[in-house]
Amino acid sequence: MSTKRLNEEKRPMVEKAQNGINDENDLEFSGGVGSWSRVHVITSFILLALLQAMTWNFWSPISKTALEVYGFTDADVAWLANTANIAMLVFLPAAAIAVDKLGARTPTVLCAGGVLLCTVLRVVPQVFAWSGVNLGHDAALAVNVASMIFNGMSATWLNFAGPALSETWYGAKERAKVTALISVAPYIGVSMGFLIGPVVVPEGRAGKTAMENLLWACVGVAVAVFVAVLVHFPNAPAVAPSRSAARRTSIRSELTVEGDGYSSSKQICGEVCLFQRRSVKSLWIICVTFSLPFGVLSGWMAVLAIVLRDVANVGAKDAGFVGCAMTMLGCVSGMVVAAINDRYPGRMKSMILLLSTLATACFLLFGLQALHYWEVPQALRRPVLFATSIGGGCFLNANLPLFFELAVEETYPEITGSTSTYVLTLGNTFVQSLFLAISFVPGASQDSARWMNWIMMLATPLFTLPLVFMKVLYKRHQDDQATSGRTAARWFDGYGW
């Protein structure tokens, strides 16, 4: 809808919302008082995100057993994962629209239902086998492809919900920690897939019964999570936990676009002034700074076994350990950094730049050794490669909740938190897919480790530069701290344009 379709009597309210000068007496908020409801909402959502990610990474860690039982080749297993990625990329826009129009409950229930359907479809071959019908390789693969479509559809909202849910349910001094918990849940779920599958399921034909039991266990957990979400998952608490959350609620309830029979609540987003507002410019800068390094890192980690094999003849088991360590340490460091941000707000840009610098140093040392520009003693070659790659992934992954929170801060109140983080997630997924697609280009696959290491070395320092010159205003934080009279930005965050 264009600006012309806004009712004239609502223009003063729009201008006030954009300038952040709504009458504070009209805003009712609780200050983030705890309740069982918010604990249930966040806990059930985190469990759902963990389950979705773990079921996405189900087949790869037990590929040998899958080959013996269903005849799934390595290419089949790879395409199952790619099917979920493609489905996620396709349905991301629809998920963002659904969240803005319907609130958090409906998309979350649909995601829980999608994960449940994913797990149920995977046991279909077993159900047919009980009745004496063997589906065969092609039918079993088709059923599992369908299950991964539902898995990818469910991954959409689960991967960018953190800031929106934390702002809706938690006060200003708790938001970053909750954002971190929700944002790292999918990564922990992937790591759980690497651990649970090989531990529970023996390799080869001997693991058939254990694999089937694990599939049914996933169905049971999915049913429990679906019921938990269905029974209680409101869109928002009765009273907003902060002044900024109350202001967003006020904007959504008052700003209505009418005409041609259309009427719905609207946030002040690109429909008011898409490419002219500072919030949109800041969002694109943050999107580039986040999507390029993180997308490259995600693609690089997906082929880490190939990279380490070509560089130092590292086996798949050791490569899996390195990838798992990068992810888990990144999750822990992300939660630690988020807690520091809650304690000392107004420093997100500075912390992102510091962590990106440390990640750049690690990947630079890794790349110089991998590309033979820096020779180390043979006895130290593997330890140095492992330490630098784990350190680089740890420092870069720690930035994840900070980027999500920074995007919401700088686009407040014009753009909703779900829209801001959706843009970042879409960019990250696109860059990751593009990075992996290059490896299929004729000629590129012959020396894949070399160019992948070059891109990994250069992505973070080059694409973090725009953030250096962006002045961070912390509009949401200023709104929440309106009565304190203190400047929000600290350290280097107040410098830039």
Angle subtended at Cα 166 by Cα 391 and Cα 93, rounded to the nearest 5 degrees: 85
> Would you state the structure tokens that stand for residue 320, as one six-digit string?
């899996």
**What pLDDT does 28 receive?**
55
CA pair distance 158, 153, nearest whole angstrom: 10
- Under a CB-based contact definition with an 8 Å cutoff, are residues 158 and 189 in contact? no
Residue partners of 98: CB distance under 8 A and separation at least 6? 106, 107, 110, 157
Indicate if the pLDDT at residue 488 is higher than 70. Answer: no
- Quick: pLDDT tens for 362-406: 999 988 888 878 877 877 888 888 899 899 989 998 998 888 888
> Would you state the structure tokens that stand for residue 459, as one six-digit string?
């992505």
Q: What is the share, in percent, of the chain residues with pLDDT greater than 70?
A: 78
- Reported pTM: 0.78
pLDDT range class, residue 441, cuts 50, 70, 90: low
> On the CB side of 410, how many CA atoms lie within 13 Å of its CA?
30
CA pair distance 39, 261, nearest whole angstrom: 39
Cis ω before 413 (30° cut-off from 0): yes
3-class state of residue 173 by DSSP: coil
CA pair distance 421, 161, nearest whole angstrom: 8
The size of the chain, in residues, is 497
- Quick: pLDDT tens for 183-219: 889 888 888 887 888 888 887 778 888 989 999 999 9
Higher-scoring residue by pLDDT: 331, 442 = 331
**What pLDDT does 18 receive?**
46
Instruction: Report residue 4: phi and psi, to 5°.
Output: -60, -25
- The mean pLDDT value of the chain amounts to 78
Indicate if the pLDDT at residue 1 is higher than 50. Answer: no
- Under a CB-based contact definition with an 8 Å cutoff, are residues 59 and 214 in contact? no
